[in-house]
Amino acid sequence: QSALTQPASVSGSPGQSITISCTGTSSDVGSDNFVSWYQQHPGKAPKIMIYEGSKRPPGVSNRFSGSKSGNTASLTISGLQAEDEADYYCCSYARSRDSSVFGVGTKVTVL
Amino acid sequence: QVQLQESGPRLVNPSETLSLTCAVSGFSISSGDYWGWIRQPPGKGLEWIGSLYHTGTTYYSPSVKSRVTISVDTSKNQFSLKLSSVTAADTAVYFCARDRGSGWPDWGQGTLVTVSS
């Protein structure tokens, strides 16, 4: 199975909104609502930001939101802050294959 | 609060078997959920290796399926990864994590395993 497609980099100024896309197939992203998103700072373990496509775990800022349309999921960060600068990964669970697949990752830069 | 901690050799010879253990605290593995391994080569992205249900049922990535075994020891509340016939391409930070299908909410800190003679 191939990694999910994400843009290599996205940038924005403080206070702006940015959106990261995550494109898969009808067998993974498009099949169920099992897309999750992770933030990873250098040298750290990934941190879950969104699960089941659009749900935020306790403690995650409401500036982070998730959505999906067809085979593409999206993560939007509104009110961009310096601390949001990190790598972001999407992940999809494919129930039909009992497998998970991650996106290639997107580097977010706060200008 | 669920905590996970990886342990095992940090240096493995080529062609040998990489072995790691993940100790879980704050949650009993036998209570449910899936548990899995994810790796990240230096400077690269995350790759799912495989997951295990507390009953022992396993699911592996096609890319490593022929070389990987994930097992559980509920008496010690830990699960393990074995990856055979390793090459330099298997050099990576290996993370253990709780797999809820809908997402991976809890992660270990990760351990760098280098394959080199």
Query: pLDDT tens, position by position, for chain B (117 residues)?
Result: 899 999 999 999 999 999 999 999 999 999 888 999 999 999 999 999 999 998 889 999 999 999 999 999 999 999 999 999 999 999 999 999 999 888 999 999 999 999 999
- Rounded Cα distance between A67 and A50, Å, is 10
Put simply, the answer to whether A89 touches B45 (Cβ < 8 Å) is yes
Sign of the C-alpha dihedral, residues A30, A35, A41, A46? negative
pLDDT in tens, A15-58: 999 999 999 998 899 988 899 999 999 999 999 999 999 999 99
Give B110's contacts in chain A (Cβ within 8 Å): 45
Chosen from A93, A104, A107 to mutate, greatest number of chain B CBs within 10 A:
A93
Other CB atoms within a 10 A radius of the CB of residue A79 amount to 12
Q: Under 8 Å CB-to-CB from A13, ≥6 apart: which residues?
A: A80, A110, A111
Give A103's contacts in chain B (Cβ within 8 Å): 45
- Rounded Cα distance between B8 and B20, Å, is 5
Backbone dihedral angles phi then psi of residue B98, each to the nearest 5 degrees: -85, 130
